[in-house]
Amino acid sequence: MRMKAEQFYQAKKENTAIPLSFISPEELKKQWAKMSEKEKILIQHQQFKASAGQIGWFINQEGAIQKIYIGVEKNNKAKALAQAAQQLSPGLYQLSEPLPCCDLIYWGLAQYCFNVYKKNEDKPRILLLEEAESSEVLPLVDAVFLVRDLINFPTSDMGPRELAEKVMQLAETNGAEFKQWVGEELLKENYPAIHAVGRASSSEPRLLSLNWGDKNAPLLTLIGKGVCFDSGGLDIKPAQAMRLMKKDMGGAAQVLGLAQWIMSSQLPVRLQVYIPAVENAVGPDAFRPGDIITMRNGTTVEVDNTDAEGRLVLADALVKACEEKPELLIDFATLTGAARVAVGTDISAMFSNDEKLAKDIMEASKIVNDPVWQLPLYEAYTDLLRSQIADLSNGNDSPYAGAITAALFLKHFISENCPWVHFDVMAWNLSSKPGKPEGGEAMGIRAIAQYLRQRFQN
């Protein structure tokens, strides 16, 4: 039922596949003079102009398809490949020119469909790859598929309990260790904010842990916001704002996709994943505006708004992570609407306490076409998180700099000297674009995969 990358790619063998060639409108014009009358008629009949993603085919003497042209504009081959993958008939294809793996993945990404609740009889279009390409392309595509699946599942089948099962399965398949602290155990083991935010739900709050790799390898810790549904809590969201909030575990989904990629590519790191998994629900036991939570590190936080729950659950997990002194700490979260106002839906907003790290990640993001943009941790705005009666407030009424103040809130829980990166992501495509079907989406993890490969692989 779940889509796998291997449905869309196969190892190259001889002459079984239809060749695909890219052509730009300018190139088409140049080639026109060289074409036979028959070819010209075919091209005209198809009204083929080599516009982006347009398909044009040639037939041989026997009337079988000999070769297919894919129109490409602005040299955006990834986009053209995605558009082609959606339009071609099911069958075997092969590119006439080599493409980098970060483009090849779009063939698979374009064909993803969440078909768990509504059947899809579509047969796959299969692209033939060299072995070296397969070993890079397939794990990346599978990571994105996992992210999308996890987000697309409705909360009725992906609450804190089910998310825990998914992490457990991921750990089992990859020989990793899984642990969790559930319900009252959170209080006993000092995760007060995760408990407070999640306690009103019938699916108990929990902190999930996955640990993998060589004990002596550098420790990389990933943290993902796992709010399986964000109703806003007692500060309940209006219908429009609540509609997509099954995606509020999108940070956890990113981290799990990345973890699967790290483990399947055997990246030489010690991997620690923490996911606070909760539902921000309304109920008699719900935490309230004005409540004060004494956090894992002793900081007291006054709850200004129960809808600013993500930073609360992340804070406990960040403190736990810092206790273990990782070499690199990365969190992903669908943390603020303000980040979407700042950089829109498609760009991942990124913050870091280490400028070199931020710069390197932005560079990596450009290479793999997974847009990331750094926003500042502007210290003076910490004033906006002041509380009269506690160390910090989890929000304020200001309509300004919401993504930055949320990031500054998180920073309060990061130890000095711990290199840390925070991603505030949309995790959702509002409409379908080439290679990006409407629904849950991986954002920022291909950039991080590229960065990690450059830093840790040999």
User: Angle between the 445-456 and 355-367 helix axes, to the nearest 10 degrees?
Assistant: 110
- Residues 5-44 as x/- pattern, contact with ligand BES by CB under 6 A: ----------------------------------------
Judged by CB under 6 A, the chain residues 203 through 262 that form the site for ligand BES are 230, 248
Minimum distance between the CB of residue 151 and Zn ion, rounded to whole angstroms?
13
Site stretch for Zn ion (CB under 5 A), options 157-165, 169-177, 246-254, 269-277: 246-254
User: Is 308 a binder of ligand BES (CB under 6 A)?
Assistant: yes
Residue 305 contact, options Zn ion, ligand BES, none, Cβ 5-8 Å cut-off depending on partner type: ligand BES
Beta strands in 281-386 (DSSP E): 292-294, 300-302, 328-333, 348-352, 372-374
The percent of the chain in helix, strand and coil, each rounded to the nearest 5, is: 40, 20, 40
User: Is 402 a binder of ligand BES (CB under 6 A)?
Assistant: yes
Site stretch for ligand BES (CB under 6 A), options 14-22, 53-61, 305-313, 355-363: 305-313
Tokens of 435: 């290679």
Instruction: For residue 187, give every residue at least 6 positions away whose Cβ sits within 8 Å of its Cβ, in sequence order, or none.
Output: 195
Site stretch for ligand BES (CB under 6 A), options 37-45, 294-302, 308-316, 374-382: 308-316
d(CA 347, CA 340): 8
Contact in structure between 230 and 309 (CB atoms under 8 Å) = yes
Minimum distance between the CB of residue 230 and Zn ion, rounded to whole angstroms?
4
Beta strands in 384-424 (DSSP E): 392-393, 420-424
Say whether 10 sits in a helix, a strand or coil: strand
**Among positions 201, 221, 231, 334, the unique one binding ligand BES when judged by CB under 6 A:** 334
Site stretch for Zn ion (CB under 5 A), options 102-110, 203-211, 255-263, 306-314: 306-314
Minimum distance between the CB of residue 343 and ligand BES, rounded to whole angstroms?
12
User: Is 133 a binder of Zn ion (CB under 5 A)?
Assistant: no
Comparing every residue's Cβ against ligand BES, the nearest one is 395
Minimum distance between the CB of residue 388 and ligand BES, rounded to whole angstroms?
18
User: Is 230 a binder of Zn ion (CB under 5 A)?
Assistant: yes
Say whether 220 sits in a helix, a strand or coil: strand
Minimum distance between the CB of residue 283 and ligand BES, rounded to whole angstroms?
17
H-helix segments, 176-238: 184-188, 192-198
Apex 445 CA angle, 422 and 172, nearest 5 = 105
User: Is 424 a binder of Zn ion (CB under 5 A)?
Assistant: no
User: Is 435 a binder of ligand BES (CB under 6 A)?
Assistant: no
User: Is 289 a binder of ligand BES (CB under 6 A)?
Assistant: no
Backbone angles phi, psi at 394, to 5 degrees: -90, 5
Tokens of 305: 């708004």
For 47, counting Cβ atoms within 10 Å of its Cβ (0-12 exposed, 13-18 middle, 19+ buried), the class is: exposed
d(CA 437, CA 386): 41
Enter the DSSP assignment of 436.
B
d(CA 264, CA 258): 10
Tokens of 404: 């930055």
User: Is 248 a binder of Zn ion (CB under 5 A)?
Assistant: yes
User: Is 337 a binder of ligand BES (CB under 6 A)?
Assistant: yes
User: Is 382 a binder of ligand BES (CB under 6 A)?
Assistant: no
d(CA 94, CA 194): 50
Minimum distance between the CB of residue 75 and ligand BES, rounded to whole angstroms?
33
Residue 370 contact, options ligand BES, Zn ion, none, Cβ 5-8 Å cut-off depending on partner type: none
User: Is 279 a binder of ligand BES (CB under 6 A)?
Assistant: no
Instruction: For residue 176, give every residue at least 6 positions away whose Cβ sits within 8 Å of its Cβ, in sequence order, or none.
Output: 170, 210, 211, 212, 263, 271
User: Is 307 a binder of Zn ion (CB under 5 A)?
Assistant: yes
Residue 337 contact, options Zn ion, ligand BES, none, Cβ 5-8 Å cut-off depending on partner type: ligand BES
Minimum distance between the CB of residue 394 and ligand BES, rounded to whole angstroms?
7
List residues near ligand BES by CB under 6 A: 230, 248, 305, 307-310, 334-338, 340, 395, 402
List residues near Zn ion by CB under 5 A: 227, 230, 248, 307, 309-310
